[in-house]
Structures are given as C-alpha cells and as structure tokens.
C-alpha cells in the first residue's frame, strides 16, 4: 500500500461521495447510503483516534463491535449493513485516488445496461429452439385425450409402434382394470397365429 493511500481518511471519503455521484460512479441512493454509513461510524471515533481508511480496514471487527455497543437503536443486521457500506466506501475511495481514470466502483459489473440486454438477446434463440423441439415431438408422437367416467386420460404414443409394443401398451392399460385382465389375456392368445402375427379380421 502506498504512502498516499495510507494517509486517506474517512472524512475525505465521506466528502467524496458527492463527487462520485457527480461523476456518475454512484446514483443518488448509493451515494446517500454510503455517506450515511461513513457518518455513523465517524461519530464513534474519539478526537485522537486514527481515522485513515487503512486503519478502518485493519480494525473492522473492533469498529463493528463498538458500533453495536454505542448505538442502542441499531440492530445487528443494520450494523452489519453499515459496516459493509463503510468498507465499500473506503475501498472505492482508495481505488479512485489510485486510478481516477480507470476507476470502476465495487458492486458494479461490466455495464448494467449491457447485462439487462443479455436476456433479451438470448430469448429469441430459446424460443426458436423450443418451437423446433415441439415440431420434432409433434412428428414423433400422437396425443390422445379420452373422456372416462372418473376423469380424462391423456396418452402420448410414439408413431409408429410395433405389434409387440401395442400388446405391451394394452397390458399396461389393462392393469388399471382388474375385471378385464383375464379377458384381455384371452384376447391376446386368440389374436396371434403360430407365426406370431396378428390375425386380420
């Protein structure tokens, strides 16, 4: 860490939030939240206590504990949020001082607008793929909806199917009707010739 970075203070970082907003690094809400967190922590420091950004990062746990102790109305969750914003503030300020031109605020990826556009670009490709898959399925399957006394049954059958597959399908359906099981087996026996082909009626 450079000498220049070690001399940066929390008070400077708090003042910098306005500049960061003007430069477009923060929106109004982010600048306000980071500034509020910095000011809340600044209040717990004594007059002679180090206020450099480097010392704040080194003493983060102690500062967190003191923040909870001195702020009766602050919950543990709120204190943690304040500390996260404080560390983001001092980290961003140090990074901006070190390289103002190439500075990119923490918490921001490449470009938010670009990230928002990505799903829109991929959506047509996904829709085209889904449509193609549906067309492929439509050519391989036939769907039958049959009204029964207890409700509706939907069958999705691949086309074409073999005779053995037809008989297997009938056995599966027959398992739902115990009374018809014997008649079904008898029909299957009579419907086959010694060669194994279906007798045409």
The model's pLDDT over 153-191, given as tens digits with 9 standing for 90+, comes to 777 777 777 877 777 777 777 667 766 666 666 666 666
Query: Is the Cβ–Cβ distance between 88 and 103 less than 8 Å?
Result: no
Q: What pLDDT is stored for residue 1 in this prediction? A: 45
Query: Where residue 108 falls among pLDDT bands split at 50, 70, 90?
Result: low
Percent of the chain with pLDDT over 90: 40
Query: Where residue 38 falls among pLDDT bands split at 50, 70, 90?
Result: very high
Query: Where residue 113 falls among pLDDT bands split at 50, 70, 90?
Result: very low
Burial pattern 139-161, b for ≥16 Cβ within 10 A else e, equals eeeeeeeeeeeeeeeeeeeeeee
Residue 104 or residue 188, greater confidence: 104
Residue 2 or residue 9, greater confidence: 9
């Amino acid at each position: 860490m450079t000498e220049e970075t070690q001399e940066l203070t929390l008070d400077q970082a708090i003042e910098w939030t306005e500049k960061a907003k003007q430069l477009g690094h923060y929106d109004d809400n982010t600048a306000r939240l980071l500034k509020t967190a910095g000011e809340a922590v600044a209040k717990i420091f004594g007059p002679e206590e180090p206020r450099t950004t480097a010392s704040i990062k080194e003493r983060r746990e102690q500062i967190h504990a003191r923040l909870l102790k001195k702020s009766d109305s602050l919950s543990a969750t709120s204190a943690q949020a304040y500390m996260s914003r404080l560390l983001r503030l001092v980290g961003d300020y140090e990074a901006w001082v070190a390289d103002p031109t190439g500075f990119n605020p923490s918490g921001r990826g490449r470009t938010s607008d670009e990230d928002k556009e990505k799903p829109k670009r991929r959506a047509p490709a996904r829709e085209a793929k889904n449509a193609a898959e549906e067309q492929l399925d439509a050519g391989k399957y036939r769907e039958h909806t049959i009204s029964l006394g207890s409700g509706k049954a939907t069958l999705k059958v691949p086309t074409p199917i073999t005779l053995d597959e037809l008989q297997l399908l009938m056995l599966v359906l027959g398992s739902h009707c115990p009374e018809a099981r014997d008649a079904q087996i008898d029909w299957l026996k009579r419907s086959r010739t010694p060669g194994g082909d279906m007798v045409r009626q």
